């Protein structure tokens, strides 16, 4: 089963994907949910391989669970451990629980994954990135060469290709904010032409570069993207709230993991006591004299008292676990509501961006026609 687990990792190319996740976790070290997302990826990667082992070998969840218990808990490592040995008691418990469940993700997990992806895309710097402006649909078609009606042989000439509309722009505001549609090379080029701290519009239209320093044009550009900026701020604030909820969920999950570890330890003690009691019962039945049988019976009574004590402790732990379930469900409900709100903001952002692009295209045309756009290359 352990070898099959490792082969499942190889088949799934988990080393390559895991490296990508590790890089992303380090690049977004400042993001409140980056570590949580990486940890959840690691858990579901191992759970997927666990399920693959059970399916491929026809092993029972009980047998495979015993394997995980035998492997115990290992410290996190950069490489895959043998049979994906769990790195925490919480992780061990979750994987064992998953062995008896369907491999299909629940609605809650899908919502949580969607929320995490949505949060990860929120801009954390004052630079507003927009989609590249697409060419308008009413561009005139390239002229067609006249037909050769004389029928004379002529050398074929290549047809002139229309210049593509490669419109890109960067707007620098005096307060340090910037709005752009283009590539990092466009941003670097615009910065070369900008005087320190000045408000300036750089744009490229069909291979020609322009700069605009007219304050009226700059103010209109700010107003065009004002709604997009406001929606981005709302998304950022909502993402921060989701981050707080995620941290609370992580804290409750950690507490549940601790309780689960205690339950596991008590379960092992109960199993050991039951085995000891069975052994004493066998010896009592085979005893040849009354004093020995009496002694063995007294030991069994003491074992049963210990078992009752363990049962009470187990019941207390189960009660604490149930008490944590309600706040966890409430946090999940709030996260679901916030995810819907984030989706609604995303739709508004799409519409606002499309509207701003159209207005920005018109502004660039008017700046060129009015002589406010200076050609720089």
In the numeric block, which tokens belong to residue 270?
């109960």
Task: Give 145-169 pLDDT, tens digit per residue.
Answer: 444 444 444 444 455 455 556 789 9
Q: What's the rounded mean pLDDT across residues 123-144?
A: 47
Considering the domain boundaries, does residue 182 fall inside one? yes
- Residue 244 neighbours by CB under 8 Å, 6+ apart: none
Considering the domain boundaries, does residue 369 fall inside one? yes
Q: What's the rounded mean pLDDT across residues 294-323?
A: 89
The answer to whether residues 174 and 314 belong to one domain is yes
- Residue 101 neighbours by CB under 8 Å, 6+ apart: none
Considering the domain boundaries, does residue 227 fall inside one? yes
Instruction: Tally DSSP H helices, then E strands, for the chain.
Output: 10, 6
The answer to whether residues 344 and 205 belong to one domain is yes
Considering the domain boundaries, does residue 140 fall inside one? no
Task: Give 84-120 pLDDT, tens digit per residue.
Answer: 555 566 667 777 777 766 444 445 555 555 555 555 5
pLDDT over 70 at 24, yes or no: yes
Range of the domain at 69: 2-104
The pTM score is 0.49
What is the bridge-based pairing of β-strands 168-172 and 200-205?
antiparallel
In the numeric block, which tokens belong to residue 48?
């997927």
Whole-Å CA distances, 92 to 48, 75, 85, 88, 251: 14, 12, 8, 6, 17
207: left (phi over 0), alpha (psi -120 to 50) or beta: left
Query: What pLDDT sits at residue 213?
Result: 92
In the numeric block, which tokens belong to residue 236?
């950022």
The answer to whether residues 218 and 185 belong to one domain is yes
141-176 per-residue burial string, b: 16 or more CB within 10 A, e: under 16:
eeeeeeeeeeeeeeeeeeeeeeeeeebbbbbbbeee
Q: What's the Rg (C-alpha) of the chain?
A: 33
Task: Give 69-92 pLDDT, tens digit per residue.
Answer: 777 654 444 444 444 555 566 667
Helix axes 34-57, 107-120, angle to 10 degrees: 140
Position 282 confidence tier, pLDDT thresholds 50, 70, 90: confident
Q: Which percentage of the chain shows pLDDT scores above 70?
A: 77
Identify the CATH number of the domain in which residue 199 sits. 1.10.287
DSSP string, 149-213: -S-------PPPPPPP---EEEEE-TTS-EEEES-HHHHHHHHHHPPTT--EEEEEETTEEEEE-
Q: Are 12 and 48 in contact (CB under 8 A)?
A: yes
The answer to whether residues 293 and 182 belong to one domain is yes
């Amino acid at each position: 089963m352990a070898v099959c687990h490792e082969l499942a990792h190889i088949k799934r190319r988990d080393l390559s994907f895991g490296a990508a996740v590790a890089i992303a976790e380090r690049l977004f070290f400042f993001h409140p949910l980056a570590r949580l997302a990486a940890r959840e990826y690691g858990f579901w990667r191992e759970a997927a391989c666990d399920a693959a082992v059970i399916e491929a070998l026809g092993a029972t969840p009980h047998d495979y669970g015993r394997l995980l218990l035998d492997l115990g808990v290992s410290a996190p490592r950069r490489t895959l451990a043998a049979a994906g040995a769990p790195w925490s008691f919480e992780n061990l418990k979750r994987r064992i629980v998953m062995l008896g469940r369907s491999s299909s993700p629940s609605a809650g997990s899908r919502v949580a994954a969607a929320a995490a992806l949505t949060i990860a895309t929120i801009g954390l710097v004052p630079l507003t990135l927009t989609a590249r402006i697409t060419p308008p649909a009413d561009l005139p078609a390239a002229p067609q060469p006249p037909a050769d009606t004389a029928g004379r042989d002529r050398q074929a000439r290549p047809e002139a290709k229309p210049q593509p509309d490669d419109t890109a722009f960067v707007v620098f505001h005096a307060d340090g904010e910037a709005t752009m549609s283009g590539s990092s090379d466009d941003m670097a080029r615009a910065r070369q032409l900008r005087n320190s701290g000045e408000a300036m519009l750089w744009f490229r239209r069909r291979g020609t570069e322009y700069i605009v320093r007219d304050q009226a044009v700059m103010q209109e550009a700010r107003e065009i993207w004002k709604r997009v900026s406001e929606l981005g701020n709302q998304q950022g604030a909502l993402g921060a709230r989701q981050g707080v909820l995620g941290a609370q969920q992580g804290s409750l999950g950690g507490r549940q993991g601790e309780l689960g570890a205690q339950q596991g330890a008590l379960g092992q003690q109960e199993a050991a006591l039951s085995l000891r009691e069975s052994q004493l019962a066998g010896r009592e039945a085979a005893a040849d004299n009354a004093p020995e049988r009496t002694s063995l019976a007294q030991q069994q009574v003491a074992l049963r008292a210990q078992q009752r004590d363990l049962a009470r402790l187990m019941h207390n732990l189960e009660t604490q676990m149930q008490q944590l379930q309600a706040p966890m469900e409430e946090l999940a409900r709030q996260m679901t509501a916030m995810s819907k709100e984030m989706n609604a903001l995303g739709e508004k952002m799409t519409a606002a961006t499309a509207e701003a692009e159209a207005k920005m295209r018109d502004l660039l045309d008017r700046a060129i026609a009015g002589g406010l756009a200076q050609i720089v290359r």
